[in-house]
Structure 1
Amino acid sequence: MPLILAAMTTNSTNNRPHNCNKNHTVKEYKLVVVGGGGVGKSALTIQFIQSHFVDEYDPTIEDSYRKQVAIDNEVALLDILDTAGQEEYSAMREQYMRTGEGFLLVYSVIERESFNELSTFYQQILRVKDTDDVPIVLVGNKSDLTEERSVSYEEGEKLAKQFNCEFLETSAKQGINVDQAFHDLVRKIRAKNESITNTVSSRQSSTLGNDNKAGLKQDAQGTGSNVGGGAGQRVGGSSTTATGGDAGQRAKQQSSSNAPKTESSGGCCIIM
Structure 2
Amino acid sequence: MWAYKVVVLGSWGVGKSALTVQLVTGTFIEKYDPTIKDFYRKEIEVDSLPSVLEILDTAGTEQLASMQDLYIKNGQGYSLVNQQSFQDIKPMQDQIIRVKRYEKVPVILVGNKVDLESEREVSSNEGLTLAEEWGCPFMETSAKSKTMVGELFAETVRQMNYATQPDTDDPCCSACNIQ
State whether TM-score is above 0.5: yes
CA deviations on 1:47-103 (whole Å, 9 max, x unpaired) are 011110011032110000001111101111110000001111112121011010110
CA deviations on 1:184-239 (whole Å, 9 max, x unpaired) are 01101111223369x9xxx8xxxxxxxxxxxxxxxxxxxxxxxxxxxxxxxxxxxx
Cα offset, 1:133, TM superposition: 2.5
CA deviations on 1:233-257 (whole Å, 9 max, x unpaired) are xxxxxxxxxxxxxxxxxxxxxxxxx
Please say if residues 30 and 80 of structure 1, whose CA atoms lie closer than 8 Å, have aligned partners that are also in contact: yes
Gapped runs of 5+ residues in structure 1? Answer: 1-25, 204-272
Computed over aligned residues only, the root mean square deviation of the Cα atoms, in angstroms, reads 1.6
Q: Look up the match of 1:17.
A: none
| 1:192 corresponds to which of 155, 163, 168 | 163
Indicate yes or no: 2:88 matched with 1:117.
yes
CA deviations on 1:136-168 (whole Å, 9 max, x unpaired) are 010000001011111100000001011111001
Q: Look up the match of 1:36.
A: 11
Counterpart residue identity of residue 101, structure 2: D
Alignment of 1:1-272 (within 5 A): 26-108=1-83, 111=84, 114-131=85-102, 133-195=104-166
Cα offset, 1:132, TM superposition: 6.7
| Cα distance in 1 for residues equivalent to 2:68 and 2:141 | 23
Q: Which has the larger radius of gyration?
A: 1
Please say if residues 38 and 57 of structure 1, whose CA atoms lie closer than 8 Å, have aligned partners that are also in contact: no
| Cα distance in 1 for residues equivalent to 2:93 and 2:107 | 9
- What percent of counterpart residues are identical? 44
Please say if residues 5 and 55 of structure 2, whose CA atoms lie closer than 8 Å, have aligned partners that are also in contact: yes
**2:43 partner SS:** strand
Please say if residues 38 and 58 of structure 2, whose CA atoms lie closer than 8 Å, have aligned partners that are also in contact: yes
Counterpart residue identity of residue 71, structure 1: V
Q: How many aligned residue pairs are there?
A: 170
Q: Which one has a larger percent strand, Structure 1 or Structure 2?
A: 2
TM-score by length of 2: 0.90
| Cα distance in 1 for residues equivalent to 2:91 and 2:11 | 10
Please say if residues 77 and 156 of structure 2, whose CA atoms lie closer than 8 Å, have aligned partners that are also in contact: yes
**2:156 partner SS:** helix
Please say if residues 104 and 164 of structure 2, whose CA atoms lie closer than 8 Å, have aligned partners that are also in contact: no
| Cα distance in 2 for residues equivalent to 1:45 and 1:72 | 20
Counterpart residue identity of residue 44, structure 2: V
Q: Look up the match of 1:229.
A: none
**1:176 partner SS:** coil
**2:125 partner SS:** helix
Please say if residues 39 and 54 of structure 2, whose CA atoms lie closer than 8 Å, have aligned partners that are also in contact: yes
Counterpart residue identity of residue 137, structure 2: E
Greater relative CO (CA pairs within 8 A, separation 6+): 2
Please say if residues 6 and 56 of structure 2, whose CA atoms lie closer than 8 Å, have aligned partners that are also in contact: yes
**1:117 partner SS:** helix
**2:122 partner SS:** coil
